Amino acid sequence: MSDATAQSKNGRLRGRAASVGLTKERIVDVAIAQIDEKGLHAFSMRELARALGVSPNNIYWHVGGTKEDLFGEIAARFTAAVSQSLPRDKPWQDRLRTVFLSYRDAVSDHANVAPLLGAQLKSNGVANLALVEAVLTALHDAGYRGSALRDAFNALIGGLCGFVTMEFAPAPDDKANEWEALFARRVAEIDADRFPFTHAVLPDFMNRIFVLRWENGKHVSYASSFDFLLDLLIEGLSARAPRQSPNP
C-alpha cells in the first residue's frame, strides 16, 4: 500500500516500471531459436513469452495482431538475407542459380522454420522483394516478356521453392525415431502384383529417394536432386528463351 512502486503477487513490476526493453527484433530472434530447437509444432506464444521472461501480451503489443503476423516477421527475416543485389553483368543463368541456391541454403540453416516460409512466400510473396526482383530481372534479360515471363517466373518459384518446402517438411512428430523401421515395414508391405516396379527397385538403392526418409530424426540431404532440378529448369528456359537480349 505504502510502497512507492507497486508490485504484483509474484513480485514482478507492472507498467512501464517493469520495462525490459523488449523489441520486435529480440522477439523474432528468440522465436526462431525456439523453433530451431523444439520444432514449429511445439512453438507457442506462451512458451515464447516464458523464454523472453515476459508476459504473452507484451509480445502481441510489439508484434501487433496475431501469431500469424509474428510468422510473417520471421519469414521477412529470411527473405532479407536471401539475395543481396547480384551483379547484372553475370549471365542470367548464373544469377538464377545463385539466387535459388542461396534460398535453399538460408532455409536449410533453419529447417524447422521451412513450412512457415513456404506458406508465407505464397501468401506474402510481395514482401520477398529481393528474390522477386532478382528472378524477374534475370528472366527479362533472358528475353521473357508478358505471359511467358509470368509462367517462367511461376514455374521457377513454385517448382524450386516448392521443392525446398517439401524437402524440409518435418517428420511426423514422434515417429522420427522409428522412421527407419517404419520405412522397412512399408516397403515390405508393397503389393508386388500391383506395383511390381516399385517393389523391385525401392528396397535396393532408393534409400535416398525423395519424400521417404529421415535419419535419426534429422533430414537427409536432397542437395543433388535440387541441383538436378535447377539445371533442368535453367537449361529448359535457355532453350525456350524467346530471344537473347543481354541488354534490354
- In the list its own copies, DNA, none, the entry touching 12 (Cβ below 5 to 8 angstroms by class) is DNA
Cβ 204 to its own copies, closest distance in Å?
A: 10
Binding site for DNA (CB under 7 A): 4-10, 12-22, 43-47, 53-58, 60-62, 66-68
- In the list DNA, its own copies, none, the entry touching 216 (Cβ below 5 to 8 angstroms by class) is none
Cβ 221 to DNA, closest distance in Å?
A: 30
- In the list its own copies, DNA, none, the entry touching 187 (Cβ below 5 to 8 angstroms by class) is its own copies
Cβ 167 to its own copies, closest distance in Å?
A: 6
| 61 versus 195: smaller Cβ distance to its own copies | 195
| 91 versus 172: smaller Cβ distance to DNA | 172
Cβ 82 to its own copies, closest distance in Å?
A: 13
| 64 versus 162: smaller Cβ distance to DNA | 64
CA 136 to chain centroid:
20
| 48 versus 116: smaller Cβ distance to its own copies | 116
| 132 versus 171: smaller Cβ distance to DNA | 171
- In the list DNA, its own copies, none, the entry touching 7 (Cβ below 5 to 8 angstroms by class) is DNA
- In the list DNA, its own copies, none, the entry touching 57 (Cβ below 5 to 8 angstroms by class) is DNA
Cβ 56 to its own copies, closest distance in Å?
A: 20
Residues 6+ apart with CB under 8 A from 226: 104, 160, 163, 164, 167
